[in-house]
Amino acid sequence: MDGRAEDSGRVYQSSGDQYITEHHHHDPRATGSAGGGGWPDSVRRPAIGRTPVVLRDRADVLARLREAVESARGGAVYVLHGMGGCGKTAVAYDLFQIATREFGRIGLWVNASDRASLRAGMLAVAADRGAGDGELQAARHGYRPAADLVWDRLDRSPDPWLLVLDNADDPAILRDGSWLRDSPGGIVVVTTRRAAARWWPGALLQHIGVLPRDDAARVLCDLAPHSGTLEQAALIAERLGRLPLALTLAGGFLAQQVIDPWTLDTYGRHLEQGERVDLIDQGADGLTGDDPRHLVGRTWQLTLDSFEANGLPEAVGLLRLLARLAAEPLPVSVLNRPDIGAVLPPARAEAALTALLDHSLGQLVDLGVRCVHCHGVLLDSVAAATPAEEVPVLDATAVRLLDASVPAQPDAGPYDPRLRLLAPHALALLRRSGTRGSSTGEPRGAEPGNAERESAEPESAATTADVLAVATRLAVALHRTGDYLSAWETASAAATLAERALGPEHRGVLAARSRTGRSLFRLGRYDEAEALLRQTRAAQQRLFGASDPDTLDSCHALQLVLGNHGKREEAVILLRSTIAARSLVLGPGHPATLRSRASMLTLLTAPELAAEDGGTLLELSEECVRHLGPDHTVTLNARHNHARALFVLGRFPGADAEIRRAIEQYEQRFGPDHPAVLSARQLRAQTVAALGDRETAVAIMADVTARRKQSLGADHHFTTVSRDLLGAMRSGTWQPPPPYAG
């Protein structure tokens, strides 16, 4: 088909693995939605960047797929595989239109390029197929099997459907969560670069290759009709490996030249110059073997050269900077910082970003905050072509930008979806920086001689350590908003990635492992948390000493697990030693010291509370106010735990007044569903029951149990405790502790 563009119009011929994922983040407290932030705006429309006008040379493939969607049968899984940019997404898009428009199937489209996007998209599918808010809330926070929920809803769907899992280039993501299944209710189509049959047991595999010569030439002519003849286009198409994505980008580049338009011959001469052409020439031959993302990298290099030639080198620097991060939405505010000056003048950042957007090298997306989103193939290709001497400055700049975007002192607060947006970028930078060098594996710590080792550490390992510190602090911030699943995923992945460059006994790696253990505890995975924290604490104690702040952090975390895991006596012993060491090293008024002392209020029995420091422990909340102020998180926690201690001592009126005060402050800070609020309200139910108002107590406990079931899942330890307490109150078998007369 010969197509021409007029005025500002464009004709698009083919599409590769380009996609747009649009997220909208909403506060569940305001919307009542269990989904929360991070879901795609729609799974009913294919989230792809460019839709082909005509799909060339795919008739045989579409004919086979058409037969599947035309029949009323389900249960089939089709895997479209091939090199990146071959048009797998374009084939899936055409099939999607056929299935929905001609045969009335429900069309569902999910970006499966990474774990977060797949999870969000599949939960949106579950919502589309009728899942309730409670089910979605529990699945989102990882407290019930999310994949089981999704496939149960798909199996029970009253309408036949077609589900497309696009850009599933890491099959392990699908396998680990059991996200890919067959169903009698519909047909699944997967697009991927991974062709090995072992990844797709039971699926029907279909290879998608490059375009024939004539069809490839027509792609260039349709996009840039004034740049040359069909034969000239055929020559360029061959040099580009007849890869649809490379052809689309090359044609778009030629069409956008205004001041000094290039012809196809000019484009061809640039392809022949220098080493940059090597990977492009292998495009048609590299369907297996090396990562095919690298085979189209030099196509974008021509655009970067054009930026340089036209006096806009800042766009090159910005794209290379973005290529150190992830192929996920990045808040534009991250780029609006003075630290970017090492790569490009801050005053030129706006013009540079505009140039990238104008050349289809990025897109603006709205997630409640403006973000720039670049395609993964583009970023990987640019990263591979970035001059090695520029990489250290780019990595150091990216670290500083992310560091400035993460709270310097993470504090407890309501769920903040913006924090999640930063996590994939920190991990991507950690992955890239960790491949630039290796260290001796020797730990960095407080032991003698460590400063000399640090100064001799390779630059890449030092950068990795800096990124790791940012990622760990981000995990802390996520944890303290109650997003324990994201905190665990971030800390665990950061530790694993950094360990390759820094070694398992590096101080930062061990700190990330400790944060991982804390989040495992909050997720109810006590055995895993205890084992990891014991191992980490032992390593820190051996390397840094028993009184090192990092060692003491792990001690505090471990006693939390032990106290909730039926090992109270060991927890008390460990906590006493932690308090003593923190008081000596940090001082008695330090927040960490006061936090540990507040934990003691939750572990002691009535006689122990009365005897502890002559009863001065019961005055801890006032001490926290003097040192930290009345609104500090540790002060609020101490007030909560003080109410618990009064309850254990049988001082019910005082306990009730204190916990009501704590609940009011908690709800103002965190909202009604934060774990700290639910814990405080459970104690309130007990104080009310102890004061004789069993009806009110049962109502409070019923609400707490329902909220914990929704957010944590029915089998979480905290949910079980709440459910048992509710049952005892309803039956009248629950009894408050007797007043302590000692």
Q: What is the pLDDT of residues 51-95, one digit of tens each?
A: 554 555 577 788 888 888 887 677 889 999 775 567 788 889 889
pLDDT of residue 505: 95
Helix (H) or strand (E) run with residue 52 in it: none
Whole-angstrom distance, CA of residue 552 vs CA of residue 530: 15
pLDDT of residue 309: 73
pLDDT of residue 44: 84
Reported as a pLDDT band with limits 50, 70 and 90, residue 399 is very high
Token pair listed for 695: 């009806």
- What percent of the chain is helix, strand and coil (3-state, nearest 5)? 60, 5, 35
Task: Provide the residue type at 24 as one letter.
Answer: H
Greater model confidence, 45 or 304: 45
Closest CA relative to residue 486, chosen from 413, 415, 395, 564: 415
pLDDT of residue 359: 62
pLDDT of residue 531: 96
Summarize the confidence of residues 31-54 as an average pLDDT: 59
Summarize the confidence of residues 568-578 as an average pLDDT: 95
Token pair listed for 152: 């149960």
| β-bridge mates for residue 80, sequence order | 191, 206
Contacting residues for 463 by C-beta, under 8 A, at least 6 apart? 392, 395, 396, 399, 433, 436
Token pair listed for 538: 């032992």
pLDDT for residue 201 is more than 80: yes
Ordered strands of the 363-366 beta sheet: 330-331, 370-373, 363-366
Q: How far is CA 104 from CA 101, 134, 159, in A?
A: 6, 30, 9
Percentage of the chain exceeding pLDDT 90: 42
Mean pLDDT of the chain: 81
Condensed to tens digits (0 to 9), the pLDDT of residues 418-468 reads 888 999 999 999 988 866 544 333 333 333 334 333 433 456 788 899 999
Choice among 161-170, 253-262, 473-482, 557-566 with the minimum mean pLDDT: 253-262
Helix (H) or strand (E) run with residue 99 in it: none
Summarize the confidence of residues 228-243 as an average pLDDT: 80
pLDDT for residue 1 is more than 50: no
Highest mean pLDDT among 44-48, 409-413, 658-662: 658-662
The alpha-helical segments, DSSP class H, found in 386-524 are: 391-405, 417-433, 450-455, 459-480, 484-502, 507-522
Checking DSSP bridges between strand 330-331 and strand 370-373, what pairing results, if any? antiparallel
| Four-residue CA torsion sign, 210, 215, 221, 222 | negative
pLDDT of residue 703: 93
Give the homologous superfamily in CATH for domain 620-742.
Tetratricopeptide repeat domain (1.25.40.10)
Summarize the confidence of residues 599-628 as an average pLDDT: 86
Greater model confidence, 385 or 543: 543
Summarize the confidence of residues 340-353 as an average pLDDT: 92
pLDDT of residue 475: 95
pLDDT of residue 446: 37
pLDDT of residue 571: 95
Reported as a pLDDT band with limits 50, 70 and 90, residue 317 is very high
- Yes or no: say if 191 and 167 are a contact pair by the CB < 8 Å rule: yes
Reported as a pLDDT band with limits 50, 70 and 90, residue 20 is very low
pLDDT of residue 493: 94
Condensed to tens digits (0 to 9), the pLDDT of residues 490-509 reads 999 999 999 988 999 999 99
The single residue listed with the structure tokens 């459970």 is: 682
Class for the domain spanning 23-207:
alpha beta
Q: How far is CA 3 from CA 54, 213, 220, in A?
A: 10, 18, 11
pLDDT of residue 567: 93
Percentage of the chain exceeding pLDDT 70: 80
State the number of CA atoms in the 13 A half-sphere of 390 facing the CB.
Answer: 17
pLDDT of residue 377: 56
Whole-angstrom distance, CA of residue 432 vs CA of residue 441: 18
pLDDT of residue 196: 67
State the number of CA atoms in the 13 A half-sphere of 131 facing the CB.
Answer: 29
Whole-angstrom distance, CA of residue 434 vs CA of residue 423: 16
pLDDT of residue 507: 96
Token pair listed for 567: 């090992």
pLDDT for residue 662 is more than 80: yes
Token pair listed for 350: 């706006």
Q: How far is CA 124 from CA 47, 140, 371, 396, in A?
A: 14, 10, 21, 37
Token pair listed for 480: 């303290």
Condensed to tens digits (0 to 9), the pLDDT of residues 664-694 reads 999 888 888 888 899 999 999 999 999 999 9
pLDDT for residue 598 is more than 50: yes
